[in-house]
C-alpha cells in the first residue's frame, strides 16, 4: 500500500514559537501543512488571519493547505493565495454559489477543495466532483482541535472514494478531526489520501517521529 500524506494542523502549534514549529514540520515527512482559518461566524471559534498565514507561508517548505471555516470565502481568495496557500478549501455549508467559487479558486492558481461537515451527505458533491482537487471529509464538527473522532464519517470516506472512482475525478480525499495513529490505517483503507492531525502530532513527545509513524502506517 502507498504512503499517506500527513498534514499536521498548525492550530495545535505553539504560536509563541511558530517559526520553530514550522521548521520542525519542514524537517519531517509531512508533505502538507494544514492551516485552519476560523471566523467566529461559520464556526464558534476564531483562529487567525493573514499576518499569521503570511508568517507560516514565509517559513513553510511544504504544501500549504488552507481550510477556510469562514462565511463569504470568495471575498478573500486572492489574498489567501498571495499569503502562500497552495490548496484552498471552502465549506459546502458556507457557500451559496459553489461552482463559481471553485472556479475562482482555480483562477488564483491554487488547488480547489470542498469540505463537508459530518452531517452533510457526500451526494451533494455529485455535480461538481470532476472540478475538485480535494474533498475534505470533516470527522468532527469544525471549530476546535482535540475533539473526538466521529466514527460514522468513515463510511463517508468510502462513499467519497466511490464517487471519485465513478466520475474519474482527480480529487484527493482528506480527513480532518480526531485523526491519529489509532485510526489512520482504517481511514487509509477507506480511501483517505491525506490525514490532518493536530493534537495527535503536536501533543506527542516527538512530533517528527509521530508524523513518520502515521506516514508509514499503511506500509506495514
Ligand atoms: C477543526 C480543524 C482541524 C483541527 C484538527 O475544526 O479543522 O483541522 O485542527 O485537530 P485535531 O487533529 O486535534 O482533531
Ligand atoms: Zn482543518
Q: What is the mean pLDDT of residues 2-27?
A: 97
Measured from the Cα of 34, ligand 1's closest atom is 8
Q: How confident is the model at residue 2 (pLDDT cuts 50, 70, 90)?
A: confident
Q: What is the mean pLDDT of residues 4-10?
A: 98
Give the angle 90-94-96 at the CA atoms, nearest 5°.
100
Res 44: pLDDT: 98
Q: Write the residue with the smallest CA distance to atom 6 of ligand 1.
A: 142
Find out whether the beta carbon of 11 lies less than 6 Å from any atom of ligand 1. yes
Where do the domains of the chain lie? 5-219
CA-nearest of 54, 87, 90 to 72 is: 90
- Assess whether pLDDT exceeds 80 at residue 97: yes
**CATH number attached to the domain at 5-219:** 3.20.20.70
Q: How confident is the model at residue 99 (pLDDT cuts 50, 70, 90)?
A: very high
Q: What is the mean pLDDT of residues 16-43?
A: 98
Res 1: pLDDT: 62
pLDDT tens profile 132-168 = 999 999 999 999 999 999 999 999 999 999 999 999 9
CA-nearest of 210, 182, 180 to 195 is: 180
Question: In whole angstroms, what is the distance from residue 212 CA to residue 220 CA?
Answer: 13
CA of 135 to the centre of ligand 1 (A): 16
Q: Write the residue with the smallest CA distance to atom 9 of ligand 1.
A: 145
Res 218: pLDDT: 86
Pocket test for ligand 1, best of 44, 118, 174, 177 (most atoms within 8 A of CB): 177
CA-nearest of 88, 122, 101, 115 to 174 is: 115
Res 118: pLDDT: 98
CA of 72 to the centre of ligand 2 (A): 17
Find out whether the beta carbon of 34 lies less than 6 Å from any atom of ligand 1. yes
CA of 68 to the centre of ligand 2 (A): 8
Q: How confident is the model at residue 79 (pLDDT cuts 50, 70, 90)?
A: very high
Return the number of other C-beta atoms located less than 10 Å from residue 187's C-beta.
Answer: 24
Res 220: pLDDT: 61
Question: In whole angstroms, what is the distance from residue 58 CA to residue 183 CA?
Answer: 32
- Assess whether pLDDT exceeds 70 at residue 56: yes
**% pLDDT > 90, the chain:** 98
Mean pLDDT of the chain: 97
pTM over 0.85? The answer is yes
Find out whether the beta carbon of 147 lies less than 6 Å from any atom of ligand 1. yes
Q: How confident is the model at residue 127 (pLDDT cuts 50, 70, 90)?
A: very high
Res 30: pLDDT: 98
Q: What is the mean pLDDT of residues 115-124?
A: 98
Give the angle 10-202-90 at the CA atoms, nearest 5°.
30
Question: In whole angstroms, what is the distance from residue 150 CA to residue 177 CA?
Answer: 8
Amino acid at each position: 500500500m502507498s504512503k499517506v500524506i500527513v498534514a499536521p494542523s498548525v492550530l495545535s502549534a505553539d504560536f509563541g514559537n511558530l517559526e520553530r514549529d514550522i521548521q520542525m514540520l519542514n524537517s519531517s515527512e509531512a508533505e502538507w501543512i494544514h492551516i485552519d482559518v476560523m471566523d467566529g461566524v461559520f464556526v464558534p471559534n476564531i483562529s487567525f488571519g493573514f499576518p499569521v498565514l503570511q508568517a507560516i507561508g514565509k517559513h513553510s517548505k511544504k504544501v500549504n493547505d488552507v481550510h477556510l471555516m469562514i462565511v463569504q470565502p470568495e471575498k478573500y481568495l486572492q489574498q489567501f493565495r498571495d499569503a502562500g496557500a497552495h490548496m484552498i478549501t471552502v465549506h459546502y455549508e458556507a457557500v451559496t454559489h459553489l461552482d463559481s467559487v471553485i472556479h475562482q479558486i482555480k483562477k488564483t492558481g491554487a488547488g480547489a477543495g470542498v469540505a463537508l461537515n459530518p452531517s452533510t451527505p457526500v451526494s451533494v458533491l455529485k455535480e461538481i466532483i470532476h472540478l475538485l482537487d480535494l474533498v475534505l471529509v470533516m470527522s468532527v464538527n469544525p471549530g476546535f482541535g482535540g475533539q473526538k473522532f466521529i466514527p460514522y464519517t468513515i463510511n463517508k470516506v468510502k462513499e467519497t472514494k466511490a464517487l471519485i472512482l465513478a466520475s474519474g475525478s482527480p480529487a484527493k480525499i482528506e480527513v480532518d478531526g480526531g485523526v491519529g495513529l489509532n485510526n489512520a490505517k482504517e481511514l487509509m483503507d477507506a480511501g483517505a489520501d491525506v490525514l490532518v492531525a493536530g493534537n495527535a502530532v503536536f501533543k506527542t513527545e516527538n512530533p517528527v517521529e509521530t508524523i513518520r509513524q502515521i506516514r508509514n502506517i499503511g506500509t506495514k
